[in-house]
Every structure is written in C-alpha cells, then in structure tokens.
Structure 1
Amino acid sequence: MIVSESAMQVEETDAEPGDGTDAPDSPEVEDVATRQVVEFRLGEDYCAVDIDEVDSIVEIKKVTRIPRTPDSIDGVMDLRGETTAIINPRTFLGIEGDAPERHEQNILVLDRPDDKQKIGIRVDEVLEVATYPEDKIDTDEDLSDLDTRGIEQKVSRGIIRKPNGDGLDLVVWVDIDAIIDQLK
C-alpha cells in the first residue's frame, strides 16, 4: 500500500478519542478469506497441509517396520514415549524418485484428537508456514483438467498458485483425512 506523506499528518483537535470526531470516515477494508498452511517438499513436488492439522515437526528417528502393512505405512517410531505411526504420502500422490536419506527427512506430527494413536507423515523437507488468499487456491471443481494421481485418488483438496519471481509454483494442498481414510 502506498500512503502519501500528507495522509500521514495528524491534525490536532479538541475532540476526545473515540467520540467519532478523531478520524475521518474511512472506507471499510474488506476481509479476504485466507488459508494458513505448512509447505513441504516431496521429491520435486511442493505440497501443503493446513497448519491446524499439524501438532509439531520433528526429525525422523528410528522407524520400525510392521509386517504385512501397506507400502504407504513406513512403520512406527517412539515420539516422546508415545508410539507414532508414520505414513509415507509419496504413494498416494504418485511422487516419483527416491526419498532422501532418512536423517535428512522430517515428520509432520498430526493433530487429530479423534485418533487412537499419534500419526505422522514423512516429508523430504519442511519449507515454510505460509498464508494464501483463498482466491489463489483452485479446489476440486477447478481441477478436472489436471492429470495427477493426488487428484485422481481424491487425496488433494486443491492446488495453491504460489507466486514466484518467474510466474507461479503449483503446491498440492493435501487432504490428510482422505489419506488416512484410505488406510483403513
């Protein structure tokens, strides 16, 4: 927003603060609906989840594989004395390529009060917490022309159009509930 120098000057009056005479009528600022997300990287893809769904971000520790579980479940790990199931979202989103070494990855521990056990998702790198206006997010209705596994398997809430210096990056807005429902 650009404000002229004259607009920054305050005129002294004998009016009391809050009596309606201390400021000229100003146009109401329209609230723009926004979403705050945690952005992360999986391979070359950028993804995000709602910040309200994340309890904490931790470094990956020893993960114990559980026999006869789907490939999308890496196993379990001890997190502050609590057994935490670790999900690998790459299988749901069709992320190609090998994951980096485990010591380079992070776990987004989810905040899901109805779960009987803590759940975390394995990510290659946590990038940032960002806020986007909802008009920069294309939802399911807008995605019929995109051919991605996340859209096909209905584990994406939409695509965030993130401005960068050269144009736009597309960030997959992951639906954690849909991923967990497919594990049941």
Structure 2
Amino acid sequence: MSRLIMSNEDTSVLEFSLGDDRYCIDITQVEEIVDADEEITAVPNAAPEVEGVVDLRGETTTIIDPTVALDVDTTTSGQRIVVLADEDGTGLLIDDVHQVLSVTSAAVDESTSSATTRGVIRVDDRFVVWVEPSALLG
C-alpha cells in the first residue's frame, strides 16, 4: 500500500460519492470519467468486487464495485465510471463526481487508514475517505 508522503505539497484528489458517502482518489490515478451508459456484462466466476466488463471505445474495461472492497453497506446507482490510469482497462463504478480538491498532507488523518484507504479528509462539514484504488482490485 502506498503512503502519502508527509510534506506541505498539495495533492489534487477527485471527490466522488457512493450512496450518501464521499470518497476521493489521487487525480493522477484517473485516466478519464465516463457515463455508465453501456450495459455491464457479467463475468462468470469473477471476484466479488468485479461487476463485469464494458466496451469503452473498443477496449474491454473491467468494472469494479468499490463498495465490496471497502465493505460499505450502501446501494449505488452506478451512473459514472472512473477509468484508472495505472490499472490497464479497469474502472470504478461510482454514483457521481463532485469536485477536484487540493489537499495538503497535514489535512489527512492517517490514523484511520486501512488496507484500502489512506485516511480521512475533513471538507467543510463532511468527511471524505481517501481510497487507494489498487487495493480495491482484489
């Protein structure tokens, strides 16, 4: 699991939602964000976090449901897909994209980090969980 380097440098993160909860990932890990218009084809005997596959511009993309790896009990509408830059042909099924935030390492509470998260960021009156995408892939 990669760790956030403790410095005063800002890191840009993409804030998104799964159900009523907010999450984020480092923007450098995002290749693109697309609407989940294509029907997701189930893959027999796939890992529990694998929703299936879709064809995005001629490339087969494996769609991951992050709620499984995060062990979050929520229902997502799955309206958007965040295609990951460092994971060839893999995308996260999310509900909505909200904003790009600039975060300093001092703003991240790493005491709440786990195998799948870097910690929690307080944004206004809510908490945003910083997710480590590679850890969601099983």
Normalising by structure 1, what TM-score?
Answer: 0.67
Matches within 5 A, 1:35-184: 35-60=11-36, 61-100=38-77, 102=78, 105-112=79-86, 115=87, 117-139=88-110, 142-143=111-112, 151=114, 154-162=115-123, 164=124, 168-180=125-137, 183=138
Q: Which 4+ residue blocks in structure 1 deviate beyond 6 angstroms? A: none
Contact 2:67/2:74 (<8 A) preserved? no
Secondary structure of the structure 1 residue equivalent to 2:68 = helix
Distance 1:127 1:97 in 2: 18
> 1:82-137 CA deviation, whole Å, 9 max, x = no partner?
0000000001112223222x5xx10000101xx5x410000011111111122111
1:22 aligns to what?
none
Distance 2:65 2:71 in 1: 11
Question: Identity across aligned pairs (percent)?
Answer: 34
Q: Where is the helix percentage greater, Structure 1 or Structure 2?
A: 1
Contact 2:18/2:74 (<8 A) preserved? no
How far did 1:32 drift? 3.4
Contact 1:43/1:96 (<8 A) preserved? no
How far did 1:70 drift? 2.1
Q: Where is the strand percentage greater, Structure 1 or Structure 2?
A: 2
Contact 2:34/2:80 (<8 A) preserved? yes
Note the aligned Cα RMSD (angstroms): 1.7
Q: Which has the higher contact order (CA 8 A, sep 6+)?
A: 2
Task: Answer with 1 or 2: which has the greater Rg.
Answer: 1
Secondary structure of the structure 2 residue equivalent to 1:157 = strand
Code of the residue aligned with 1:119 in structure 2: it is: T
Contact 1:55/1:110 (<8 A) preserved? yes
